[in-house]
Structure 1
Amino acid sequence: MRSIGEMARDSGLGVSALRFYDRTGVLVPARVDPVSGYRWYGSAQLEEARLLARLRRAGMPLADVRLVLAGWSGADGDLVRELLQAHLRRLEADLSDARVEFSALQGLLAHRENIMTPSRITIRLTTSARALAAALDAVRFAAGTDPELPMLGGVLFDFEGETLHVVATDRYRMAVARAETTGYDRPSAQVIVPAPLVDAMRALLNREGPVQLDVDGDRVTLETGDGQASGRCLDHAFPDYRRLVHLPTGSRALVDATAFRTALENGPVRTSEAREQGAASHDLSVLKVADDGSVVICDDGDDDQNHIAVNREFLLDALAAAGDDQVIIEFGVPTAPIAIRLPGDEATFSILMPVRLDH
């Protein structure tokens, strides 16, 4: 007999997926402990679980999965082949449709870029070292590292009147902060500062006092009393982050950042399933808001469609960037991002995409 954890390890199906397939009657354990509810699987079920994992990775609908498993068990090879071929035809048709739509979008994008060629940017402003350091510290952790998405490999500097907004995202999380400035009151302008240059700038911001930030075309320069950091901006367009930060109304919980980090580090986790080829799995923390308004880290097996699963490492990064004081964790619907905010500072926050659980 295999425990559910051993079956997950040996089959390629996550524990949450095994529970899901038990509830739906697709792969029922050989034995369930009547007291603890713990699931045990027979040795003969491993082959079926591995088949199920392959069908799952191929994205086969649950109704067809049932038929494939029935045909496989009954040695009905013709049925299994027809179901596999039918699913492959659907995937190929969907891919063909997607290629047509993406080709049209590429044409629209090229036309849009041709009529939106940016003019040369010239900016000179002053801000405080403390304000700029705090803003960069609040967002740097969210900058992307994927070489296929170079436009996310830095921090957006969004100049809007006498406010500098800084933004970073890697698609799965986003962080936003701001610093007040003087000396620039023209229309909004944006540049993307590459992550290594952001780090060089941050290293010069450890003393109090004013600092000067200049943008001249594709070059950005920070001058402080300790030196200068200068380099080229990334020659890409950044996503319209303002469209991404409007979240559905939900519940808010005030938590102690240090205590909550400790609870996350020592609390229960689940392992995500890699849904993309070559992708790595990661630890998930499943959260809910209790009746008393506190945030609870759910135990393994505490399943509810209203619980929200997030990448634990990403949430720890966001809490570390927020500091050691209290933070507000804002929940919307289970499919919407959660937000981590600082009390009294609505302009500094990060959002974190949820991870889908199988229920």
Structure 2
Amino acid sequence: MRGLLQAHLRRLERGLSDAREEFSALRARLDRRENPMPALPATPVHLALPAPELAAALDAVRFAAGTDPELPMLGGVLLDIEDDALRVVATDRYRMAIARTRTTTHDGPHTQVIAPLPLTDAIRALLDGEETAQLAVEGDLLTLGTGDRRTTGRCLDHDFPDCRRLLDLPTGRRARIDTAVFRTALETGPVHASEPPQQDGAPRDLSVLRVTADGTVTVCGDGDDTSDAVAFDRDYLLHALTAAARPTLTLEFGTPATPLAVRRPDDEDTFSILMPVRLSE
């Protein structure tokens, strides 16, 4: 009888999780309808910013961009151009990365455009010096120039998901980590199998994390107490550590159903978030 009750409880929990995912997807669609991206500007937009800072911002988010052909709006990096700053965002639905850098000059209205990944990579390739980068949006054309070099391409004609509600996540449990030590713990520690994302999909390797009372993050193995632990895709965690590019980082945990935030201790405007993953039984 106890086994039947436990099996029933697991089915209920799975149903609740599936319902939560459907609700999140519906809310995301409504967000896009209620907060559509501004139309491509009728007036040209020009801005200047330090090339090393733009390079660092792109490096901090590029890893999270989507590659699913059925979701073309995620196959690029969002450039959100404000008066004195440029925010760049990338997401593949399972993770999101956000960075912000200052501009030195700006002429034109507030603009949001999506640079497709090939254009994003071409822009990054030009940002190898210390000079000022000149960025221009003219209709659906995005141009980046540094010195006498220039690259131009068309922006994606899609609406990018509204990420503003994720810029101010509720404060969770924070734990400071030594990045190299934590990376080694992930690479050599135990992994668990995820449930296949699709009927014919392959399970992913998951790392199950737990924050102890003294603020230490541990990678749980078989037989460990996982009552308050949360599972994440191990490769995605490793990508986030690399992109964060700091010897120490802050991991911010919410509930088992909310994202993990990977934050730099010296830059509150640059961070990534990673959705938890359900363990297979």
- Range of TM-score over shorter length: 0.7 to 0.9
Residue in structure 2 matched with residue 25 of structure 1 by the alignment: 3
| Alpha-carbon offset, residue 327 of structure 1 | 0.7
Aligned to 1:254: 176
Counterpart amino acid of residue 102 in structure 2: E
When residues 319 and 194 of structure 1 are mapped into structure 2, their CA distance, relative to the original with a 3 A threshold, is same
TM-score normalised by L of structure 1:
0.68
1:221, distance to aligned residue in structure 2 (A):
0.6
Q: Match of 1:213, SS?
A: strand
Instruction: Give the match's secondary structure for 1:300.
Output: coil
Deviation at 1:304, TM superposition (A): 2.8
Alignment partner of 1:242 is 2:220? no
User: How many pairs align?
Assistant: 266
Matched, 1:130 2:108: no
Is the CA contact 1:204–1:226 (under 8 Å) kept in the aligned structure 2?
A: no
Cα contact 2:246–2:264 (8 A) shared by 1: no
Amino acid at match of 1:197: L
Counterpart position of 2:138: 216
Q: Relative contact order: is structure 1 or structure 2 higher (C-alpha 8 Å, sep ≥ 6)?
A: 2
Q: Are residues 1:333 and 2:250 paired?
A: no
1:202 maps to which of 104, 110, 124: 124
Provide structure 2 residue ranges, at least 5 long, that are not aligned to the other structure.
13-18
Structure in which a larger fraction of residues adopt strand:
2
Deviation at 1:277, TM superposition (A): 2.3
CA deviations over 1:8-43 (Å, ceiling 9, x no partner): xxxxxxxxxxxxxxx951599xxxxxxxxxxxxxxx
Counterparts of 2:172 and 2:251 in 1: how far apart (Å)? 10
What is the letter of the counterpart of residue 191 of structure 1?
Answer: V
Distance 2:272 2:197 in 1: 25
Partner Cα separation in structure 1 for residue 97 and residue 233 of structure 2: 15
Superposition map of 1:315-334 within 5 A: 315-334=237-256
TM-score by length of 2: 0.85
Whether the 8 Å contact between 2:195 and 2:278 is mirrored in structure 1 is: no
The 1:277–1:187 alpha-carbon spacing in structure 2 relative to 1, beyond 3 Å, is: same
* Residue equivalent to 2:201: 279
Any unmatched runs of 5+ in structure 1? Answer: 1-22, 29-51, 63-93
- The residue type equivalent to 2:253 in the other structure is F
2:73 maps to a residue whose letter is: M
CA distance in 1, matches of 2:134, 2:108: 17
Measure how far apart 1:225 and its partner are. Answer: 2.4
Larger Rg: 1
